[in-house]
């Protein structure tokens, strides 16, 4: 459930194909997110999962797997 939502949000926010959003994909290098896109993605995750993601945690989200792992830990 969390993984599917992460993929859906990244596809919506970055305009990439779902096939490109693999766990090993680097959000910036592979999916083309710039700093503004990253802020918008973090806000989308916060809205979707009803959590607050501190900046220092968001900065550690480098790959799709990092995001999934973080959200699974925080949301359960």
Distance CA(76)–CA(30), nearest Å, equals 27
- Known catalytic residue: 34? yes
Give the pLDDT confidence score for residue 76 in this predicted structure.
78
Confidence band, pLDDT 50/70/90 cuts, at residue 67? very high
pLDDT per position as a tens digit, 17-60? 999 999 999 999 999 999 999 999 999 999 999 999 999 999 99
Domains (ranges, CATH) in the chain? 1-75 (1.10.1200.10)
- Given 34, 57, 66, 69, which residue is catalytic? 34
| Helix (H) and strand (E) counts in the chain | 4, 0
């Amino acid at each position: 459930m969390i993984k599917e939502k992460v993929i859906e949000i990244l596809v919506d926010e970055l305009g990439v194909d779902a096939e490109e959003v693999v766990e090993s994909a680097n959000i910036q290098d592979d999916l083309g997110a710039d700093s503004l896109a990253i802020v918008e993605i973090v806000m989308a995750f916060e809205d979707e999962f009803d959590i607050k993601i501190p900046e220092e945690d968001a900065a550690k989200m480098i790959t799709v797997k990092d995001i999934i792992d973080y959200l699974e830990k925080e949301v359960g």
